[in-house]
Amino acid sequence: MEFKDYYQTLGVDRGASADDIKKAFRRQARKYHPDVSKEPDAEARMKDVNEAFAVLSDPEKRAAYDQLGQGYHAGQNFQPPPNWDAGFEFSGRGFSGAEAADFSDFFSELFGSHMAWGGGRRQGAHFRARGEDHHAKIELDLEDAYRGTLRSISLKSPLMDEHGRVTVAERNLNVRIPKGVHEGQVIRLAGQGSPGTGGGQSGDLYLEVHFKPNPRYRTEGRHVYATLPVAPWEAALGAAVKAPVPDGQVEVRIPDGSQTGRKLRLKGRGIPGSPPGDLYLVLEVVLPPAASPKAREIYQNMAREMAFDPRQGLGV
């Protein structure tokens, strides 16, 4: 079944007000009414215009049409999802059988089971629809994952006013970020999406967690990795050193004979959780610069006395 773009049929945009829709209908009626039009397809076009106006002039039907037809354009293959109409009920005068016969299969598929045909059993019911879910990203510092935090975020949401115009409303929301969140985790805030229609439930807000770039730390799930610079003598002889970590600092023992790239695992010191992640300190041996005569002398003595060849075993 082809999707029918009622806005295109009337020649208005999706943010058109109720008055704009009425004016557009009158223009199209003057152009295509069979009694006055000389267009060869006037009768068929007039039926399309009547159908579009029947939906867009009714706030309840328009809201349902907008919700179901998001992302579709005229002529695209369209199939309503199964049970899409669960929870939808419409008030209003309905349509007589003769009137409904002038409407398309597309209209019948969307609204046929809900129309109070000539004052039938659903007369006096109301339209209900659950609000849309919203999705957004939130950037946090890694430290926020260790202790939790309260963040204020600004959201922009499309709303329809009493005149049928679509406006953008901005609201601020204080969000409590729980301890232990990790990169890519989605936080669901029930009822913080778009408001429902006709007493329907509000949608939910889903926040996808991302950590701000940090020159010191990187994460893999709940595991945290950090580079720990060490002096050559600390790596060679072993030493106890203090290292900053996201939730404070720790004292770690550098094993003697350590090389750059060696990992020291601190079990359970990664991002909190059940179970918590681990913290890995990756050693980086940093050479002091030969920036003074004394420093150069020390390096020259090392070269003479240690007989050390870092390229031994390369075959050169």
Residue type, 264: L
CA distance 148 to 142: 10
The string of pLDDT tens digits covering residues 256-281 is 999 999 999 999 999 999 999 999 99
* Mean pLDDT by groups of 10 residues along the chain of 316 residues: 87 88 89 80 87 84 77 72 50 49 73 47 50 85 94 75 65 91 93 75 89 94 96 96 93 96 96 95 96 94 88 78
Residue 119's pLDDT is: 39
Handedness of CA 39, 27, 158, 194 (dihedral sign): negative
Question: 66: closest CA among 55, 77, 79?
Answer: 55
Instruction: Output the pLDDT for position 201.
Output: 81
Which DSSP category does 200 fall into? Answer: P
Would you state the pLDDT for residue 30? 84
Domains observed in the chain: 6-114 (1.10.287.110), 134-211 (2.60.260.20), 217-306 (2.60.260.20)
pTM: 0.57
